[in-house]
Amino acid sequence: MEISKFVMSYDLHDSNVEKYTYLSQEHKVILDIELCNWRQRAFQKGQSEITMKRLIFDDVEDVQIEPSNLEIKDFEILTVDTTMKNSKSLKMVLHDEGIIIVMVIIAGRVYWEK
């Protein structure tokens, strides 16, 4: 799925990034996310409100993380958006205990691992 379509299709606000992995040789970024399933359009009564999901970015061209010296583990997602300049670019703002991280990923596609 294109990043711009993903951003319009899923609501990641209040979900947590449990783990971040960058596989530079494979041009992949993997985010293990504790997803607020109840915030999703397709959520139905009786489903788990919170679920663990793995989000995979393929054909990654660039990853920028500020500050770059922090391990991304159990950070809450504040916002997710595409940049105006590039629909292949996802900007995610994370926070934990007063620490803010801005992550920008430029990739060809993104999908949930099955």
What average pLDDT does range 61-85 have in this prediction? 91
Phi, psi for 49 (deg, rounded to 5): -75, -30
* Of 101, 23, 13, 30, residue with least CA distance to 64: 101
Of 2-6, 13-17, 82-86, highest mean pLDDT: 13-17
Residue spans of the domains in the chain: they are 3-112
Higher pLDDT, residue 86 or 34: 34
Q: Which of 13-17, 26-30, 54-58, 79-83 has the lowest mean pLDDT?
A: 79-83
